[in-house]
Amino acid sequence: MRRILSSVTDGRGFDILLVSITMIFLLALSGMPLVYNVVMSFQEVDMFNLNTFSRPYAGLENYREVVSQPEFGLILKNTAFFVFGSIAGQFVLGFALAMFFMMRFPFAATIRGVFLVSWVMPGLVVGALWGWILAGDFGVLNAILKGIGVIDSTMFWKSDPRLSIWAVTIANIWLGLAFNMMLLSVGLAAIPRDLYEAAELDGANGWHRFTTMTLPMMRSTIGAVLALGLIYTLQQFDLFPAITEGGPANSSNVAQYWAWQYSFLLFDFAKGATVSVMMLGFVLIASIVYVWSTRHEVRG
Amino acid sequence: MTRLPVPRLFLALAMVLAAIYLFPLYWMYATSLKGQSEIFANPPTFWPRDPDPSIYPETWERRSMGRFLWNSLVIGTGVTALTVLLGTGCAYVLARYRSAWVDLGLFAILMLQVLPASVMITPLYVGFNQLGLLSYPRTAVILAAAGKAIPFYIVLVRATFMNVPRELEEAALVDGNSRWGAFFFIVLPLARNGILVLAILTFMQAFGEYIYAKSIITTQAYQPASVGLSGFLGPNSTDWNGIMAYAAIYVTPIVAIFVILQRRIVAGLTSGALK
Amino acid sequence: MTPQIEIASVDKHYGAYHALKDINLTIPRGAFTALVGPSGCGKSTLLRSIAGLESITSGNLRIAGTEMSGVPPRKRDVAMVFQSYALYPHMNVLGNLTYSLRFKGFNKEQARKKADEVAQVIGLTELLERYPRELSGGQRQRVAMGRAIICEPKAFLFDEPLSNLDAALRVHMRMEIRALHDRLGATSVYVTHDQVEAMTMADHVVVMRAGVIEQQGAPLELYDNPANKFVAGFIGSPAMNFLDATVAEDGRSARLEIAGKPVLPLARTLQPGREVTVGLRPEHLRIDTAAPRLQVPVRVVESTGSLTYSTTETEPELMIVEQGRGRYRAGETLPLTIAPEDIHLFDPTSGTAL
């Protein structure tokens, strides 16, 4: 006992204590639910056995039912569109802005920092703002687009099934753009300036410098940013209830919102868990890419 | 990279870009000050013709925002306290050592960081229901949201601790401190700024938390402002100046804190996310 | 002399890595001991083990007669000066000096009085209110020293304390540390990779390599009688020249494996035909036009005015140091000789001195 006590005040026990309390908490609130999720996806869960632990085993029945839903294909397509559209938009615009702000002019860092305000705002508020901007007849985006002659008829962003997924994707690009830019700026700032000067002396023009210096030097940063983009996009939830509620007719529904609808609108927790487990597959792939890209950070 | 002699031009361009980017925020304030008829003007007016701030007290009253914001504050504070309490020590240990165990712990934490809340909410809800935690809905939300916030917090605070030289702590040990003394009197004070920034970020996130609160808290009296906002928001909303006034009241404190601490938040955020 | 620190059969493993191998070392009370060796030799690990910052895997470690393995640093009553000084950046000089007194039951006034005394000793009286970031490198070094002496520890441990200073200040602080040691009658253990520091400051020098003590003794003892080729090459600057050689038929001279195969007389008799490694210190090779033992062409001549360093055009190349300005230029031939008693002989395979 005394040995343990002295280890806690002076030795390894101190470290073990600090880590283990947190790890136990995380295990209880993240690790176990994760396992429980997988378990539930193989069970029959209804309002009567919700409170018990022994539920009938359902095998792959839940998976079969989820896959055979008529909206399954549409939601898969929407999720892919939302994820890749968001990542592409955030990344390309974020990279362009990051490059722009690397140039030396007064207040560059401050103005760049202001962009990040989109990232600290509650997702639901961002959803509300974009819901109003994208409104059909009175939305300001339509007015602006008409004003500069891009469109001539009103676009019903939220209620047109062909456009509704665009509405949430645009809002999400706005939301994540600043974070992408910030991470890419860190990567850009880490490239030594004299490399560019050397390349310039060697006769490389701007485009060459970008493709032969910037891109290769940024490879691990880009990998991490894309992986984080995938992770954060799959985490994005708040925009859906705020803008389209997945509608009309599931035309803007995605896996993460569908899973929630199953559990909390239809109270079919088993199906909710099943959709979640399917999503986890993608998340795991993304996190492996992320951890791999930041592995030198991990090694610290 | 480029040495064009016109930094002023770039500054102007940067300000135009920032203005375009922050337009939604402006539009929120502008809309909230418009009257009901002006909202539906076509084309919309970019500057309110007749700014009328009376919508603010009215919305505050009608949407019982005091109660909603109080609940957001309770949840935000609870999550932040729990996160700082549990995350700081763990982040310190993970910063201090390099071993296979530390790598494993860090890997586990990175993995937990990426789990979407929408995936976690189903098992958490069912589990909380079985444990009877749903009778304490705000506590349940605090626990769930802290589980989500801690991994993120650990990863970033760890970066702060890595900047505290190990020799300082060793000097404190030789000077007569126990591990606890060295941690509290030497290491923590030196990591204070980073911890503070990340605590504020954690608070901001928890203050705007929606999915856990929406799913777990069914009693209106305990719902936070995000759930309150969702109550009159949807594809068919029309009360836009009310919604924008609500949104403005909700985010203005967050935006204000962000603007004041912008430099530090950006530094704290970028130091750990990627190296 | 009473031993202050006794280290017996100490081993230290980091996983599979064997950092300290069977270390035996006794440090008498009042002695200034230097641990010296190339980086990674285990000298810092040994020092940190004495401080309690590293735990030893096996063996005994006693400070002032008390067994210390498993005892936390705070209960060992030692003080340490770190390479980075490790001054607490959020405390001023006074706070840094008196920090350790908090744990030893001093009240504020006593601590202040003690700090004033120490500040007097190390010349910091004017700087007590300053913060570490406002001090120069030398002043920080002094604060680190003050923080060590204030609690009158059983031993001072120095971990390369001068390596962050510029050359001139380093020479000055070298003397100051040694003077302080003598004044306090303290027991000091001093880790350095710089053999000049070790030789000039210490009473007792411990040369380490790869976790093993290669040799320990008085500085000049190590210079005169190195136990093996490693110590011979490490102690002395510029480093000793090593040449392969064969003992001649008479057993009293060696034929060098260098252009011209010159023969050097030895001070002792060895078995004829035996292969040996001959060690010649650059400062022992003298220019002798009358009766040169070896004639070597010079490739590079570098002179500082007081000393001249010549590097030869041979395989292996030799380094020669002569006093004053050199008389020979690059391309010329140096006539050299060396006294038989200055020749070091080593076994070519084991490297031990013969």
Query: Which of A22, A101, A279 is facing B89, going by the closest CB pair?
Result: A22
**CA dihedral of A134, A137, A141, A142, whole degrees rounded to 10:** 130
Q: Is A2 on the interface with C (CB under 8 A)?
A: no
Please check whether residue A22 lies inside any domain of the structure.
Answer: no
Neighboring chain B residues of A89 at a CB cutoff of 8 Å: none
The whole-angstrom separation of Cα B14 and Cα C282 is 67
Nearest residue of A to residue B275 by CA position? A297
Distance from CA of B131 to the nearest CA of C (A): 43
Q: For chain A, list residues with pLDDT below 70.
A: 294-300
Domain end, chosen from C195, C219, C234, is at: C234
Q: Which residue of A has its CA nearest to B265?
A: A113
Any chain C CB within 8 A of the CB of B180? no
3-state secondary structure C153-206: CCEEEEECCCCCCCHHHHHHHHHHHHHHHHHHCCCEEEEECCHHHHHHHCCEEE
Note if the bond before A248 is cis, omega within 30 degrees: yes
The answer to the question of residue C223 being in a domain is yes
Domain count across chain B: 1
C123 close contact with A: CB closer than 8 A: no
Q: Do B243 and A280 touch (CB under 8 A)?
A: no
Chain C residues with CB-CB distance to B186 below 8 A: 88
Contact C164, C144 (CB under 8 A): no
Contacts of A244 in chain B (CB under 8 A): 235
CA A145 remoteness from chain centre: 28
* CB-based contact A259:A71 (threshold 8 Å): no
Kindly determine whether residue A31 and residue B123, on different chains, have CB atoms separated by under 8 Å: no
How far apart (Å, rounded) are the C-alpha atoms in residues B89 and B195? Answer: 11
Tell me if chain A has a CB within 8 Å of the CB of B151.
yes
Q: Is C327 on the interface with A (CB under 8 A)?
A: no
The pTM for the full model equals 0.83
Domain count, chain C: 2
Q: Quick one: tokens of A271?
A: 């199906």
Q: Provide the residue type at A20 as one letter.
A: S
Q: Does C181 map to a domain?
A: yes
User: Residue C131: what pLDDT?
Assistant: 93
Tell me the count of A-C CB pairs closer than 8 A. 6
The two three-digit tokens of residue A276, written as one number: 């979640």
> Which C residues, 139 through 168, put their C-beta within 8 Å of a C-beta on chain B?
147, 151, 157
Hey, which chains touch B, using 3+ CB pairs under 8 Å? A, C
**Based on the domain organization, do C228 and C301 belong to the same domain?**
no
Shortest distance between the Cα of B193 and any Cα of chain C, in A, equals: 12
Same domain, C249 and C194: no
Give A251-274 as a DSSP string.
Answer: TT--HHHHHHHHHHTS--HHHHHH
Q: Could you give phi then psi for residue C26, rounded to 5 degrees?
A: -120, 125
3-state secondary structure at position A110: helix
Is C194 in the same domain as C331? no
Angle subtended by helix axes B7-21 and B23-32, to nearest 10? 50
Any idea what the CATH number is for the domain that residue A113 is in? 1.10.3720.10
For A190-234, the pLDDT digits (tens) are 888 888 878 878 877 878 888 888 888 888 888 888 888 888 898
Measured between CB atoms, does C74 come within 8 Å of chain A?
A: yes
* Residue C172 main-chain phi, psi, to 5 deg: -65, -50
Residue B174 and residue C73: Cβ atoms within 8 Å? yes
- Give C69 to chain A, closest Cα distance, Å: 12
Q: Cα separation of C50 and C38, whole Å?
A: 20
Touching chains, C (3+ CB pairs < 8 A): A, B
- Cα dihedral C213/C219/C220/C226 (nearest 10): 10
Which pLDDT belongs to residue A299? 38
Q: How far apart are CA C349 and CA C184, in angstroms?
A: 46
Distance CA B70, CA B67 (A): 5
Q: How far apart are CA B134 and CA C215, in angstroms?
A: 72
**Domain of residue A222, residue span:** 70-299
The DSSP secondary structure of B158-201, one letter per residue, reads HHHHHTS-HHHHHHHHHTT--HHHIIIIIIHHHHHHHHHHHHHH
End residue of a domain, out of C201, C234, C267: C234
Same domain, C162 and C54: yes
CB-CB under 8 Å, C52 with B178: no
Look up residue B115 and give its DSSP letter.
-
User: What residue in B sits closest to C105 (Cα-Cα)?
Assistant: B176
**For C258-278, b where at least 16 C-beta lie within 10 A, e where not — what string?**
beeebbbebeeebeeeeebbb
pLDDT of residue A80: 92
Whether C42 is in a domain gets the answer: yes
What range does the domain containing B123 cover? 55-273
In this complex, is the C-beta atom of B116 within 8 Å of any C-beta atom belonging to chain A? yes
CATH code: domain of residue C146:
3.40.50.300
Count structural domains, chain A: 1
DSSP reduced 3-state for C349 = coil
Residue C56, domain member (yes or no): yes
Residue C52 domain boundaries: 3-234
Residue C294 has φ and ψ, to the nearest 5°, of -140, 145
Q: Distance between CA C64 and CA A25 in Å, rounded?
A: 46
The pLDDT value given to residue A74: 93
Q: Per DSSP, what are the bridge partners of residue A148? A: none
- The pLDDT, as a whole number, for residue C104 is 84
| β-strand pairing of C275-280 with C241-247 | antiparallel
Taking the CB of residue C242, how many other CB atoms lie within 10 A of it?
19
Q: Is B103 on the interface with C (CB under 8 A)?
A: no
**Closest CA–CA distance from residue A63 to any residue of chain B (Å):** 16
Contact list in B for residue A205 (CB cut-off 8 A) is none
Which secondary-structure segment (H or E) carries C14? strand C3-14
Determine whether the interchain pair B190/C90 forms a contact, defined as Cβ–Cβ distance below 8 Å: yes
Of the candidates C3, A257, C158, C196, which has an alpha carbon nearest to the alpha carbon of residue B215? A257
Q: Is residue C352 part of a domain?
A: no
* pLDDT at res. C288: 87
B132: Cβ contacts below 8 Å, ≥ 6 apart: none
Asked if the structure places residue B32 within a domain, the reply is: no
Q: Is residue B45 part of a domain?
A: no
Compute the distance between CA of residue B160 and CA of residue B96 in angstroms, rounded to an integer.
Answer: 11
Q: Is C258 on the interface with B (CB under 8 A)?
A: no
State yes or no: pLDDT of C347 exceeds 90.
yes
pLDDT in tens, chain B (275 residues): 455 557 888 899 999 999 999 999 999 999 888 888 888 877 788 888 888 888 889 889 888 889 999 999 999 999 999 999 999 999 999 988 888 888 888 888 877 877 888 888 988 998 998 898 888 999 999 999 999 999 989 988 888 898 888 999 999 999 988 889 999 999 999 988 889 988 998 999 999 999 999 999 988 899 999 998 988 876 677 788 889 999 999 999 999 988 888 888 877 776 654 43
For residue C185, the distance in angstroms to the closest alpha carbon of chain B comes to 20
Task: Examine the domain organization and report whether C190 and C262 are in the same domain.
Answer: no
* DSSP codes, C33-94: EEEE-STTSSHHHHHHHHHTSS--SEEEEEETTEE-TT--GGGT-EEEE-TT----TTS-HH
Which chain A residues are closer than 8 Å to B80 by Cβ?
none
Tell me, yes or no, whether C265 lies in a domain: yes
Phi, psi values for residue C21, rounded to 5°: -120, 110
Q: What is the CA radius of gyration of chain A?
A: 24
Q: Are C102 and C251 contained in the same domain?
A: no
User: Nearest-CA residue of chain A relative to B72?
Assistant: A122
**Which residues share a beta bridge with C32?**
C188
In B, which residues are within 8 Å of A147 by CB distance? 43
The dihedral sign for the CA sequence A78, A83, A84, A88: positive
Residues C264, C343: contact at Cβ < 8 Å? yes
Q: How far apart are CA A240 and CA B213, in angstroms?
A: 16
| Residue at C35 is within a domain | yes
Q: How far is C51 from chain A (nearest CA, A)?
A: 13
**ipTM tops 0.90:** no
CA angle (B225, B228, B234) in 5-degree steps: 125
Q: Do B175 and C83 touch (CB under 8 A)?
A: no
Residue B131 in any domain: the answer is yes
* C92 in contact with B, Cβ within 8 Å: no
Where residue B176 sits, what CATH number does that domain have? 1.10.3720.10
- Contact flag C82-B190 (C-beta cutoff 8 Å): no
Residues of A in contact with B25 (CB under 8 A): 117, 129
Which residues 52-81 of B are in CB contact (within 8 Å) with A? none
Instruction: List Cβ neighbours of A156 (8 Å cut-off, separation of 6 or more).
Output: A136, A163
- The secondary structure of C241-306 as a DSSP string is EEEEEEE-TTSSEEEESSTT--EEE-SS---TT-EEEEEE-TTT-EE-SSS-SEEEEEEEEEE-SS
In a domain, B220, yes or no: yes
Chain C positions in Cβ-Cβ contact with residue A9 (cut-off 8 Å): 72
Chain A CB within 8 Å of residue C72 CB? yes
CB atoms within 10 A of CB B266: 23
The domain boundary residue, chosen from C234, C259, C274: C234
pLDDT of residue B271: 62
Domain annotation covers residue B33: no
- Quickly list H helices, chain B: 7-21, 23-32, 36-39, 55-62, 65-96, 100-113, 117-131, 137-162, 166-174, 179-181, 188-207, 211-216, 225-230, 240-273
